[in-house]
A and B are shown apart, each in its own frame.
Chain A
Amino acid sequence: MECAFKDLHWGKEIAIRHYLQPRTAQETLDLLSEFDGRAAILAGGTDVIPLMRRGDLQAEALVDISRLPGMNSIEVDGDWVCLGGLVTQKQVCSSPVIRQKAALLAEAAAVMGSPQIRNVATVAGNLVSGQPAADAALSLLALNAGVTILSRSGTREVLLTDFFLGTGQTRLDFRREILTRIRFPALQKDQGGCYLRLSPRKALALPILAVAVVVTAQPEKRTIQEAAVALGPVAPVPFRALKAEAGLRGAPLSKESLEQAAQDAMDESHPRSSLLRGSEEYRKEMVKVLVRRGLSRALARAGLPLMEEA
């Protein structure tokens, strides 16, 4: 069994010949077109630069979009919350708007990486990385978020449930397209969310397992109207536990409903055994634990705590 040259011999530098800093979206698209797939977009760079150094991403040019106007704010538009494509993880975790209207997203942003990373890394970048356990991605998936993609042929909206194609692969071609906006419905009264992460240490760690939950309760009937349960890494992409969600629709507000949902989520999850992050059996057991806990806490936040929480 032989190891690759690049895994044994490490360099200092990334190999690019051009570093471009366009000032408008049009300029960006023109540059990307000119390079015809040989350039890649960079926003914060916290994913792209290490990937390039490792030789896992090749590009002749980097197109730094951090100067594009109108993409770095968090806005409320009626019942919708909009994040510009350059909004950082730090902005999200310290935003009063997000803490109020989608607290689980702030929680997810607050536990990824480190303060240094969060100051620079964008939420959009977290989506585009296409990693199955990307914290912001899981939260946004549970929030039923959608993204706006800008390309030379115009803009299109894609729901996150449709966005992830495979590990490291999404519907956005980062060599030709820009993610300009993320949008999701703000949590209303009777809705609650929760983000839980099982990590091997308390900072600067990739998760063993992470779960994002959004529940909508029906307090008068004491039932769960709807739930979104996103988890990873239990599949090549950020995963919605559809079977668990189906079971929760209209389910009575009880420990048994949560146990069943946790079991369903476990049954439909297929985490790999990873030498670094944990065995398949353990991760499946943890799906059960975190989904049950996540649902319980989300319900509490929706104003409907169960009698016994576990």
Chain B
Amino acid sequence: MERKEEKREKVLVREPITFPQIASLEAISDLSVVGRPVSRTDARLKASGKLAFGGDYPQEGFLHGKILRSPYPHALIKSIRIDKARELPGVIAVLTAGDVPGRNGFGVVIPDQPVICGDKVRFVGDAVALVAAETEAIAQKALSLIEVDYDPLPGVFDPREALKPGASPIHEKGNLLASHKLVKGDVEKGFSEADVILERTYKVPFVEHGYLEPDMTMAIPHADGSVLIQGPMQAPFTLRRNVAAVLGMPINSVRARSVSMGGGFGGKEDSPIDIGCRAAVLAVHTKRPVCLSLEREEVTLQTAKRHPHIMEVKVGAKKDGRIVAFQGTIYNEKGAYASLGPLVNIHSAIMMPGPYEIPHCRVNAYLGYTNHPFGGAMRGFGAPQVCFAHESMMDELALELKMNPLEIRRINAFRLGSKTATGQILKESMGLREAIEACAAAFDWDRRYREAGYGDPERSRRRGVGMALGFYRTSIGTGFDGCGANVYVHEDGSVLLYTGITELGQGSFTVLPQICAEELGVEVEDIRLVAPDTDLVPESGPTVGSRSTTLMGNAILLAARQVKESLLETASEMLFIPVERLEAKKRRLYDRENPGRFVSFKDAAARCMGMGRRLIGQGWWAPPPLGVNSETLQGDPYFVYAYSAQMAEVIVDMQTGEVEVTEHVAAFDIGKAINPQAVEGQIEGGVAMGLGYALMEEVVLKDGYIQNLNFQDFLIPTVLDVPKVKPIILEMKTQYGPYGAKGMGEMPNIPAAPAIINAIAHACGGRVRTLPASPERVYWAMKERAERQRAK
């Protein structure tokens, strides 16, 4: 996978290197743990309120850290006076840029975000000083005593304006952080062959992850010079390497420990690095533990959001509905700092044409800095944005060709053997068509489509239906996508599982032990998962990109198999049966041909221990090496995809534009549901998030300042806004995943929004091309359509 800042030779890897199959795909029917809706291992603790989230940890003896933030979106820092703040009783430290011991910069991809700004600030909320005090109230007071002189600079607030010559440069190298180009075939040729050509522009705003648990971190310096950073975090290893660089320490002197999170959705990939680096600097300076926690408003001010996209789409199709050419231009708004932006940009470009066989494609994606809060990783990583564009366009095309939206998708959708927009041939685990048909059947698409129309005798509310397709990669496709797991078996049959994959609510702490239990032949409750702590667990990569189940699952399988070798060998000796005939299940190692002959897992383990046989298993798995051409993005960017088809029914109030979603069916091919109940939960929650994106979510900015810092005005769906979602799970197993499993954490929230927007258009004729489709936007869309019809 190419990164913008590395110029490589053309790397063309067409065929993935044959890779040993992880899971035997045939005999999976008699699984005893995987595929079961096992109750979450942490459910009891969460139900009783006993599970300690970061903010629940005791804070006695901790100093409280706070951040002084820039009131300008773009300004030079002329001077800063901290003496009054420093003299306030109870203040232990007031730090400025010069106090950062190592690299004054952090970032997941490019460390371009200052720990403490020294020369300039780039967004409202940028950190200008850090305070540590005995209490939070004192720290807050100290902030107000710091005097900063700013020299305001012109602010840049539009990603297209940012790229024009003469625009105020936000970073030294200018405002274009990255650009990526996808070229397949020849779009001009394609357009020349098209019977119909449509051009539209779609826009999506900044949105907040809206995790209910605000960010916080604890930085604890130790006498030996090492530093522990603990708290909610999706990426402990990324945090560790950033903190080490910021402190000017070797990586092995920093320890990062992830505490179970109250939601993450990608946001806690880099927000913990932000406050972690800052708390670490305070902790090392004061030689005392420091707790830095953000109020909800500060979470919104300071942390990453979903990247806004302005997407110009041009599509050419034949009369019969076959799409022959797709052209897209994406203006991807970066905001002030890089965060995950460069990787999102590539992903958006690759995903822009959608899950369709299109012979000629061209996409240009430009990532431009602005003086706004920045985009990071948010569930879908570019896919929700472009899916809104391509699925809206599919319906607009269908309307133009007078075709049923389902029909036009049936004509163009991927099938086994299809070639994607990057020229990748989809050779396995392809369930898109099955998902479409299953969804249509469960939703009763044909009937609902026909019966759309007024629903009330006053003729003020109209019903309509819409659909959308999506596909999404498993894992991030970067060079460093490997992960490791350790499995230790003890002489009483209990197991320790070491994995650096974190729990954000998605269920990894249950699903990963399920995989381990299945492979070892024990029960989930026999396994204790060791919290992701970089001192204890192997490098695992971040918990992002729908990679955990598949990649870490594979690593766990390999680790479990290694330990199982000893157990099988020992059991074979104890039973006088060749190893090949032995099966491990339900705490027994038994003769497949005569299950009555067995030894207990516990006894075999004890025997191994007594004989000095290895009871430690270690597994490492990285996806098959892939790559794309850096000039054309042609190649195989990711090794497997999940697929989804979703359908929604809405009722639109034709006079106010209010929208109610009354039905939503969401079908997925995810390879294998390790825990079907957890998968359903992801589907239902993801669809709700997509509903919010469609109808109500927007971070509203004015002159660079966020207008809706708290939940009062940044609206996410309540229980009254979300209908009962009907999830459908299909399993087209992949050879690359444990028991065939692909990732699916992000997939559900990707086609949900366009399905709803398409339903709105179907119901009232109004086409909303800028999210969210608030009642007002729907109202104007209806008005616009009425005017167009009058003009005809």
**Using a CB–CB distance below 8 Å, which chain A residues touch chain B?**
1-5, 7-13, 198, 200-206, 208, 275-276, 278-279, 282, 285-286, 289-290, 293, 308-310
Contacts and interface: CB of A to CB of B under 8 A. Distances in A.
Nearest to A288: B655
B713 to A, nearest CB: 5
Interface stretch (B65-73, B262-270, B591-599, B747-755): B65-73
Given A8-B70, A9-B66, A310-B460, 16 more contacts: A2-B152, A3-B72, A5-B143, A8-B69, A9-B143, A11-B140, A11-B295, A200-B775, A201-B696, A201-B715, A201-B717, A201-B718, A205-B715, A208-B775, A275-B700, A279-B776
A4 B707 contact: no
Nearest to B722: A202
Contact of B71 (A4, A200, A201, A202): A4
A208 B152 CA distance: 35
B136 A10 contact: no
A12 B136 contact: yes
B775 A9 contact: no
Contacts of A205: 715
A224 to B, nearest CB: 20
B223 to A, nearest CB: 31
Given A11-B295, A308-B458, A309-B458, A198 B775 contact: yes
Given A275-B702, A279-B776, A310-B458, A10 B297 contact: yes
B118 to A, nearest CB: 19
A198 B658 contact: yes
15 contacts: A1-B72, A1-B704, A8-B71, A11-B136, A12-B136, A12-B137, A198-B656, A200-B715, A200-B775, A204-B711, A206-B713, A278-B776, A279-B776, A289-B655, A289-B656
A3 B124 contact: yes
B47 interface: no
Contacts of A204: 711-712, 718
Contacts, number: 96
Nearest to A289: B655
A201 B694 CA distance: 12
Given A204-B718, A275-B700, A8 B124 contact: yes
Nearest to A206: B712
B663 interface: no
Interface in B198-222: none
Interface in B712-760: 712-713, 715, 717-721
A309 to B, nearest CB: 5
Contact of B301 (A8, A200, A203, A278): A8
Nearest to B298: A10
A9 B718 contact: no
A233 to B, nearest CB: 14
A288 to B, nearest CB: 9
A285 B655 CA distance: 9
Interface string B638-663: 00000000000000000110100000
B186 to A, nearest CB: 44
Contacts of A308: 458
Interface string B290-313: 000001111001000000000000
B353 to A, nearest CB: 33
A200 B140 CA distance: 34
A201 B715 CA distance: 8
Q: Which 6 A-B pairs have the closest CB atoms?
A: A202-B720, A10-B295, A3-B71, A203-B718, A8-B69, A282-B776
Given A9-B140, A208-B775, A289-B656, A1 B66 contact: no
B71 A5 contact: yes
Nearest to A290: B656
A201 B136 CA distance: 35
Instruction: Tell which of B143, B695, B775, B776 has the most Cβ of chain A within 10 Å.
Output: B776
A199 to B, nearest CB: 8
B779 interface: yes
A201 B210 CA distance: 16
Given A2-B72, A3-B124, A200-B715, A285 B458 contact: no
* Centre residue among B136, B140, B296 by max chain A CB count within 10 A: B140
Contacts of A310: 458-460, 655
